[in-house]
A = this chain, B = another copy of it.
């Protein structure tokens, strides 16, 4: 017997047929003797519709009212899944955020979970009842509904798994796991059986869209073993691997990964823009004078590189932002010319970031050099480099993205088991 959280996203509950399919997945786990909490998203398209209503009602809408409106989607799915489970003979009831309650801070629209009392849920498990929990929502200190921001249902699932001490949090989605890279670019990309939390965090933030970054952070902090698997498998007899375990990717502590790969995956993101300031006066505090105002404007800066210029008295600074922030960031930098002397400012959104990720890098030198050499061999110019303990990222011309991903995927032999 195990205690499991099962999370189903919007496409998995898009209509009554798919909800019935979800109910059969749940019934399989119940029949196997497990204690189950299910977390559901809104039916595909519903959240967008409700968000559209709020925007249509007023461009500057009260986040508390937005939360009341938008949370209705998950409420509907939770009730419908409970009804469907009951019709299959499974003892189930729906739980809304305010009923448990899933307590959050007061940041309506993008709240963080602060506490989930688990006693009642656990008591119901003992009585054989499945908890069907509306994802994405909680109760703020003002006794009003708070939503967790986009992708919040993953975060709900992981937080609930931590609260109830679940053995595993199963994220059912429209792919069957986490891959060494995007299979649309590299057809022989391989599904990973296990990924360490740290690696997944890098992959999630670098554009692999399987899991929200916040939910991976939370899973890492609380050590929640998170299993990504497909909701489109046969619910009564899901495919198993050679080890007899269901097909999917387990995101877990690196201690649980016996054979550590040098490199686990290649991630990429085209949602990047680069801004370069040349001939910036080189004095103490100049970086703060530039990046302080960007932070104040809520513009997220990712890579930063600073070089001393040829004359030794000025400096060149390059940084990247998301494409959505590009125009605002350019305008802001131009406006700084009155306080920071600089010769030229130029920018481009025609860039992409490609990253090599793997916890094995910690103990192996030469991974970076191998990457730079391989890219150079293909004639790909590297514009910026940043590295961490388990990641190397390079900024390149966006036109070379696919070539770079394929090249790196191949040199680290990621297509081989």
Contact = CB atoms under 8 A, between A and B. Distances in A.
Given A72-B72, A99-B143, A143-B99, A65 B83 contact: yes
A75 B68 contact: yes
Contact of A79 (B65, B75, B87, B98): B65
Interface in A373-415: none
A66 B143 CA distance: 24
Nearest to A87: B58
Contact of A54 (B57, B66, B83, B96): B83
Given A53-B16, A98-B98, A86 B58 contact: yes
Going nearest first, the 8 A-B pairs with the smallest beta carbon separation are A69-B79, A68-B79, A58-B87, A72-B72, A57-B83, A65-B79, A61-B83, A65-B82
Chain B CB count within 10 A is highest, among A19, A67, A79, for A79
A93 B108 CA distance: 14
A278 to B, nearest CB: 44
Given A58-B86, A62-B86, A84-B58, A96 B68 contact: yes
Contacts of A98: 98
Chain B CB count within 10 A is highest, among A54, A58, A64, A87, for A58
A118 interface: no
Is the interface on chain A under 10, 10 to 19, 20 to 34, or 35 or more residues?
35 or more
Interface of A: 16, 19-20, 50, 53-54, 56-58, 60-62, 64-69, 71-73, 75-76, 78-80, 82-84, 86-87, 93-94, 96, 98-99, 143-145
Contact of A16 (B19, B56, B65, B93): B56
B94 A68 contact: yes
